[in-house]
């Protein structure tokens, strides 16, 4: 025993250094992670003094439409993917509790043994009962961090799945918001197409009258009728898309397909100024980036676990039983035994070395994945900022174009009545106006989508 204790002490002194290492975040360069949304040349890191960034805003501060908020709240309660993510987190919480209990001794009670012994040499008619109640207890001393590293690895995996839950939550919120804004866009496009259909019908009726008066040929009437039918086709298509979008949104919020209560595109008010923070502070809310780091931390502790396998396993135990297995008339008594085990791996056919090398390679892979997740997040934020500025400019230009083309339609119709313009000019002006109006709505919708994308790219904000 003395030699064993000396060996254990020497092993702890010379080999145990570094077994209890804790995970520390590796250095990562975030310079130029977010490109300037205005400059076409340089990259820019946004001012580091910014702490109240857009990425920290709760979703209610971004999506302020009360009807949309009601839909998001229902989705957070009923969405099947989000419910399954929550159950996965619960599963790993149970696994972590089990990992923590691994530090405690294991105690087992064996089945009781009862028998009868006939006393042939004393009194053949007398039968004695014998009984035994065995119990064992053992405890593994975690001197080299094997159990501790496994527990820490499980903790990191649990945090990773909590990140996954937050990522699903952000996806549910953004999916509901995008579907809602799609409905508003389709409603507005349907309204524009309906108004243009009325105007096209008036033009058709006007040209039929002009044809009856002999002022134009039949081709003019045919062109006007074709333009009117084209608007009818667009109306039917918008109605079809509205129904399909309502069904998709209903599925997101966990209900059967039905009509979705909503406001209008003109009533929406979204943030237009985006403070995004800097570097890792900007990305601290990104569930996928944090999850990638937790996977890295888990691999770090797996390396520690693999390294601890080279050190001895020390366990102490206790066995005891209560009974009178000899079958005597005396009452039962306790029989106890204390023991200790020490197992030192010497040669295991290279399995321990291979396991350590594999664990180190997996750590390097996790590091690369984490680095790439940071770069991907930066790209998403950069793209969202550039897209917002671009769609905002396009929307303003389309608004000017709509205003000019609306005046053009009014003037050409008036000139046509006085024979100052041809029917082709009238139809062309109306078609251009319709296209400009629909483009304006598309740009407004794209700008809203970009806000949703930026919300997701910055990690889904607060609660």
Give the distance from CA 91 to its chain's centroid: 18
Given CATH 2.20.200, say whether it is the number of domain 107-141+311-344: yes
In degrees and rounded to multiples of 5, residue 369 shows phi and psi of -65, -40
Residue 303 has pLDDT above 90, yes or no: no
Q: Give mean pLDDT, residues 368-394.
A: 85
Among 19-28, 32-41, 420-429, top mean pLDDT goes to: 420-429
Entry pTM: 0.69
Query: Which of the pair, 50 or 198, is modelled with greater confidence?
Result: 198
Instruction: Give the per-residue pLDDT at 156.
Output: 74
Residues of the chain with CATH 1.20.1600.10: 24-103+144-310+350-457
pLDDT value of position 354: 85
Residue 247 scores a pLDDT above 90: yes
Q: 275-284: per-residue pLDDT in tens?
A: 555 455 556 6
- Give the residue with greater pLDDT, 266 vs 46: 266
Q: What is the pLDDT of residues 85-139, one digit of tens each?
A: 888 777 777 766 666 655 555 666 655 554 444 444 455 555 455 555 566 666 5
CA distances from 40 to 256, 287, 388 (A): 47, 30, 15
Checking if the pLDDT of 51 tops 50, the result is no
Percent of the chain's residues with pLDDT above 90: 14
Query: Looking at the predicted structure, is the pLDDT value of residue 29 above 70?
Result: no
- Asked if residue 462 has pLDDT above 60, the reply is no
Q: Would you state the pLDDT for residue 275?
A: 59
Q: With beta carbons less than 8 A apart as the criterion, state whether 176 and 197 touch.
A: no
Q: Does domain 24-103+144-310+350-457 have CATH number 1.20.1600.10?
A: yes
Q: Which residue has the higher pLDDT, 42 or 429?
A: 429
At 132 the pLDDT is: 59
What are the start-end ranges of the E strands in 11-126? 106-109, 113-118
For helices 423-457 and 218-252, what crossing angle results, to 10°?
10
Mean pLDDT of 262-275: 80
State the pLDDT at residue 357. Answer: 87
Q: Is the pLDDT of residue 260 over 50?
A: yes
Q: How far apart are CA 244 and CA 409, in angstroms?
A: 34
Domain with CATH 2.20.200 in the chain: 107-141+311-344
With bands split at pLDDT 50, 70 and 90, how would you rate the model's confidence at 324? Answer: low
Cα dihedral 396/397/402/405 (nearest 10): 160
Name the more confident of 460 and 180: 180
């Amino acid at each position: 025993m003395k030699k064993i204790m000396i060996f254990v002490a020497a092993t702890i002194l010379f080999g145990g250094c570094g077994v209890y290492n804790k995970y520390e975040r590796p250095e990562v360069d975030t310079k130029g992670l977010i490109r300037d949304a205005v400059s076409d040349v340089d990259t820019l890191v946004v001012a580091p003094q910014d702490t109240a960034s857009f990425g920290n805003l709760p979703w209610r501060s971004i999506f302020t439409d009360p009807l949309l908020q009601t839909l998001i709240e229902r989705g957070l309660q009923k969405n099947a993917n989000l419910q399954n993510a929550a159950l996965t987190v619960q599963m790993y919480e149970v696994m972590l509790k089990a990992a923590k209990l691994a530090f405690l001794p294991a105690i087992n009670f064996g089945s009781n043994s009862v028998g009868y012994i006939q006393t042939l040499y004393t009194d053949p008619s007398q039968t004695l009962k014998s009984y035994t109640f065995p119990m064992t207890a053992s405890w593994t001393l975690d001197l080299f961090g094997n159990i501790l590293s496994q527990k820490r690895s499980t903790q990191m995996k649990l945090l990773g799945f909590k990140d996954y839950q937050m990522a699903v939550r952000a996806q549910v919120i953004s999916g509901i918001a995008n579907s809602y804004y799609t409905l508003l866009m389709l409603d507005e496009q349907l309204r524009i197409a309906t108004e243009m259909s009325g105007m096209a019908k008036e033009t058709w009726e006007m040209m039929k009258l002009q044809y009856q008066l002999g002022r134009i040929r039949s081709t003019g009437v045919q062109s006007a009728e074709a333009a009117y039918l084209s608007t009818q086709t667009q109306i039917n298509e918008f109605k079809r898309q509205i129904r399909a979008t309502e069904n998709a949104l209903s599925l997101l919020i966990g209900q059967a397909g039905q009509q979705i209560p909503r406001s209008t595109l003109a009533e929406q008010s979204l943030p237009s100024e985006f403070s995004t923070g800097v570097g890792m502070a900007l990305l601290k809310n990104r569930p996928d980036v944090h999850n990638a780091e937790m996977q890295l931390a888990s691999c770090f502790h797996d390396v520690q676990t693999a390294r601890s396998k080279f050190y001895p396993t020390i366990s102490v135990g206790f066995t005891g039983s209560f009974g009178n297995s000899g079958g005597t008339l005396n009452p039962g008594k306790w029989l106890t035994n204390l023991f200790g085990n020490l197992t030192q791996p010497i040669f295991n056919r290279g399995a321990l070395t291979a396991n350590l090398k594999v664990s180190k390679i997996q750590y390097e892979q996790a590091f690369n994945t984490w680095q790439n997740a940071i770069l991907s997040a930066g790209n998403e934020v950069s793209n969202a900022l550039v897209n917002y500025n671009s769609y905002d400019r396009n929307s303003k230009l389309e608004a000017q174009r709509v205003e000019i083309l609306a005046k053009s339609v009014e003037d050409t119709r008036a000139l046509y009545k006085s024979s100052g313009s041809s029917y082709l000019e009238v139809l062309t002006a109306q078609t251009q106006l319709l296209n400009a109006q629909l483009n304006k709505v598309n740009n407004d919708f794209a700008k809203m989508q970009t806000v949703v994308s930026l919300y997701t790219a910055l990690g889904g904000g607060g609660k």
